[in-house]
A and B are shown apart, each in its own frame.
Chain A
Amino acid sequence: EADIYQTPRYLVIGTGKKITLECSQTMGHDKMYWYQQDPGMELHLIHYSYGVNSTEKGDLSSESTVSRIRTEHFPLTLESARPSHTSQYLCASSEGDSGELFFGEGSRLTVL
């Protein structure tokens, strides 16, 4: 069973607010990812990390930033939320060259 946790599960905020979505994994995986997924649509990679102090932007960095100070922790920050950021955000991790991703339960964000 995967041990990867996201908080908050649900969040409703106003435009212009700064928010941080938390993601932690206890599996010691070196690689971590943030995806955005709208209903019925494909997953879009926002950011990824291959290890501590290593972060890269994906196809959809969407005015967000990430940090990887510890192996187990990979938070995503939106500096100024907009209604277009309304979506589900999925955090995932994987080990080595394995393509098998372990996903958290997701954070569903609504920006009013």
Chain B
Amino acid sequence: GQNIDQPTEMTATEGAIVQINCTYQTSGFNGLFWYQQHAGEAPTFLSYNVLDGLEEKGRFSSFLSRSKGYSYLLLKELQMKDSASYLCAVRDSNYQLIWGAGTKLIIKP
């Protein structure tokens, strides 16, 4: 079967750095996506990795290791508005997105 695993919840302090991990087992791989979803709102696209390595976009970075079936999302200089759920999704061999249940990130002052 296909499976995406990420922690259910994480807590971090404003101004700090947090790393949200995602491991996956899918039938084929055509890219990994991270989305942000604030409570009661729709997901919004954050990043896309298809090759191994680090992709940096401002305060957010995403890393991929295809051989390990592993990715992480790194958030720097945390702000209160970063409190949200972060969804990991993998595009499989049929080009369909398989979604993780999301990691709820709580930022404390």
In contact, A40 and B45 (Cβ under 8 angstroms): no
Question: CA A99 – CA B96 in complex, angstroms?
Answer: 9
Flag whether B107 is at the interface (Cβ < 8 A): no
Could you list 18 A-B pairs, sorted by A, with CB under 8 Å? A42-B87, A42-B99, A42-B100, A42-B101, A42-B102, A43-B43, A43-B99, A44-B99, A45-B96, A99-B33, A99-B89, A99-B91, A99-B95, A101-B43, A103-B43, A104-B42, A105-B41, A106-B42
Flag whether A90 is at the interface (Cβ < 8 A): yes
Q: Give, as a whole number of angstroms, the nearest-CB distance from A34 to chain B.
A: 13
What is the interface of chain B, defined by CB distance below 8 A to chain A? 4, 8, 30-31, 33, 35, 41-45, 48, 87, 89, 91, 95-97, 99-102, 104
In contact, B102 and A100 (Cβ under 8 angstroms): no
In contact, B42 and A41 (Cβ under 8 angstroms): no
Question: CA A42 – CA B44 in complex, angstroms?
Answer: 15
Q: How many A-B residue pairs have CB under 8 A?
A: 47
Given contacts A42-B4, A45-B96, contact A101 B102 (CB under 8 A): no
In contact, B31 and A103 (Cβ under 8 angstroms): no
CB-CB < 8 A to A45: which residues of B? 96-97
Interface size on A, residues (CB 8 A): 17
Question: CA A92 – CA B43 in complex, angstroms?
Answer: 10
In contact, A103 and B95 (Cβ under 8 angstroms): no
Taking A40-B102, A43-B97 as given, write out 18 further A-B residue pairs in contact, using a Cβ cutoff of 8 Å, ordered by the A residue number: A40-B8, A42-B87, A42-B99, A42-B102, A43-B43, A43-B89, A44-B99, A99-B30, A99-B89, A99-B91, A99-B95, A100-B33, A101-B97, A102-B45, A103-B42, A103-B43, A105-B42, A106-B42
